[in-house]
Amino acid sequence: RKEVEQDPGPFNVPEGATVAFNCTYSNSASQSFFWYRQDCRKEPKLLMSVYSSGNEDGRFTAQLNRASQYISLLIRDSKLSDSATYLCVVNMGGSYIPTFGRGTSLIVHP
Amino acid sequence: GAVVSQHPSRVICKSGTSVKIECRSLDFQATTMFWYRQFPKQSLMLMATSNEGSKATYEQGVEKDKFLINHASLTLSTLTVTSAHPEDSSFYICSASHRDYNEQFFGPGTRLTVL
């Protein structure tokens, strides 16, 4: 089993749709969780950290479920510019060596 | 967020040559730098982790004699791909972090094409 797993997609949705991605992780001792966004042929950029209580940033909501060992990202009112690959990142243990999921591709069409 | 630069952004070279990629943290001191490789439509693969002033820790399957990493200062790390071959063609990305920050800052990446 991979340490961090994501559905690669692609998720193909119309503008205005709500879309959700899940990411599961295998190490129950994981401490930090993030969602990154990567555009084609570009470097990943931090979208948001994921906190135990859940957190929201505009149209984006991230949640953490430690019992089931998954994190989620919800995007409301999708925009064309949201088209990208969304990477789940988990920090395993005390040393900061993050593990990336393979990413979920999102395509928002008119 | 903090700024990390990489140079060059793109390089095309002949098989057998060596290529050096620089990664610089411009506005903070990076206690740790990471080097990743990403093949088309695949996830980022961590190659190695380097702490300033010490030897890099390589991931399993990454040849340390082929991918030479130097982290001589808190703002600069270099990756040298020695005797590059076409199968080394990839997108190489560095990232930097500081022990006080719970975030990585990525460089823009270097696209290597070996003919």
For the segment A62-107, what is each residue's pLDDT rounded down to a tens digit? 999 999 999 999 999 999 999 999 999 988 755 557 888 889 999 9
Average pLDDT rounded to a whole number, residues B14-28? 94
Hey, what are B7's tokens?
Answer: 């140079």
pLDDT tens-digit series, residues A37-47:
999 888 899 89
Residue B9: is its pLDDT beyond 80?
yes
Question: Does residue A102 belong to the interface with chain B, where contact is any CB pair within 8 Å?
Answer: yes
Hey, what are A94's tokens?
Answer: 């005390």
* Residue in B43, B102, B108 nearest the CB of A102: B43
Alpha-carbon distance of B67 to B76, in angstroms, equals 16
DSSP code of B56?
Answer: P
* Residue in B1, B97, B108 nearest the CB of A43: B108
Query: φ, ψ for residue B87 (rounded to 5)?
Result: -70, -10
Compute the C-alpha angle A73/A74/A75, nearest 5°.
Answer: 120
Closest chain B C-alpha to A62 CA, distance in angstroms: 16
Interface touch B102/A45, C-beta < 8 Å: no
Alpha-carbon distance of A32 to A52, in angstroms, equals 10
Task: Show residues of chain B in contact with A46, CB under 8 Å.
Answer: 1, 103-104
pLDDT for the residue A23: 95
pLDDT tens-digit series, residues B40-93:
878 888 999 988 878 899 999 999 999 999 988 889 999 999 999 999 999 999
Residue B1: is its pLDDT beyond 70?
no
Nearest to B13 by CA among B94, B92, B84: B84
Residues of B with CB under 8 A from a CB of A: 1, 32, 34, 42-44, 46, 49, 91, 93, 97, 99, 102-104, 106-109, 111
DSSP code of A82?
Answer: G
Nearest to A80 by CA among A42, A44, A108: A108
- Tokens 């340490």 -> residue: A3
Q: What part of A 61-90 touches B (C-beta under 8 Å)? A: 87
Nearest to A27 by CA among A92, A96, A106, A108: A92
Nearest to A10 by CA among A79, A110, A72, A103: A103
Interface touch A45/B49, C-beta < 8 Å: no
Alpha-carbon distance of A21 to A16, in angstroms, equals 16
Max CA separation in chain B (angstroms):
42
* Residue in A42, A49, A102 nearest the CB of B42: A102
* Residue in B97, B108, B109 nearest the CB of A96: B97
Closest chain B C-alpha to A28 CA, distance in angstroms: 19
Question: Residue A86: is it exposed, middle or buried by C-beta count within 10 angstroms (0-12/13-18/19+)?
Answer: buried
What is the three-class DSSP state of B99?
A: coil
Query: φ, ψ for residue A81 (rounded to 5)?
Result: -70, -10
Which range has highest mean pLDDT (A101-110, B33-42, B94-103)?
Answer: A101-110
Question: Does residue A96 belong to the interface with chain B, where contact is any CB pair within 8 Å?
Answer: yes
